[in-house]
Chains A and B, each alone.
Chain A
Amino acid sequence: DGGITQSPKYLFRKEGQNVTLSCEQNLNHDAMYWYRQDPGQGLRLIYYSQIVNDFQKGDIAEGYSVSREKKESFPLTVTSAQKNPTAFYLCASRNSNTEAFFGQGTRLTVV
């Protein structure tokens, strides 16, 4: 089936540790996005990428990093510089005039 897959579903991070969230799509979409969702809030854009080997900061990029080495993959690293990383992370992809397709999300918790 075509779609967008995020893994893992749940992730626990220790203080000071970097963790990487995976996002893979087989929809042949050019653009990919990472959003953060906190309780009672909408989606806030962390990073986005329009083409391979290019990405741009969103509204809340501090403490995060990404790469786009392949069209299908857009992993997000939550670094130790992100002081409040506990949240639900959503990856999405789309082509120019289509709706965005979302993965099932990764819930990150600091322990």
Chain B
Amino acid sequence: AQSVAQPEDQVNVAEGNPLTVKCTYSVSGNPYLFWYVQYPNRGLQFLLKYITGDNLVKGSYGFEAEFNKSQTSFHLKKPSALVSDSALYFCAVRAPGMSNNDMRFGAGTRLTVKP
């Protein structure tokens, strides 16, 4: 069975500092990995994905993530955090060739960026 874990419920950073939101996964085969962001009372917005190719993936709003196969991780990063980045972040994993229901989400990490 495939799964994804976000080990931190909450991440706090100061504005202008780099941020990292962690994600690890467990899947058979090569994974498809995704990051989404959710603002209060809104749906999830897609940030970036890793399907194949370069391990460093760049996405929306200056976010990037690095696929690390040996550590089975896909941490989300941003060099300089903004207060407006404060939101709930979800990592998701899917294994190619699996049925369409097999997209698993982490429990979410609440990012707070303080001025």
Contacts and interface: CB of A to CB of B under 8 A. Distances in A.
Q: What class of interface size applies to chain A in its complex with B?
A: 20 to 34
Contacts of B92: 100
Given A42-B108, A90-B43, A103-B43, A56 B101 contact: yes
Interface string A48-65: 101000001010000000
30 contacts: A33-B101, A33-B103, A35-B105, A40-B9, A40-B107, A41-B107, A41-B108, A42-B105, A42-B107, A42-B108, A43-B44, A43-B90, A43-B105, A48-B100, A50-B100, A56-B99, A56-B101, A88-B41, A90-B43, A97-B51, A100-B44, A100-B92, A100-B103, A102-B36, A102-B43, A102-B45, A103-B43, A105-B41, A105-B42, A105-B43
Interface of A: 6, 31, 33, 35, 40-43, 45, 48, 50, 56, 58, 88, 90, 92, 97, 99-105, 107
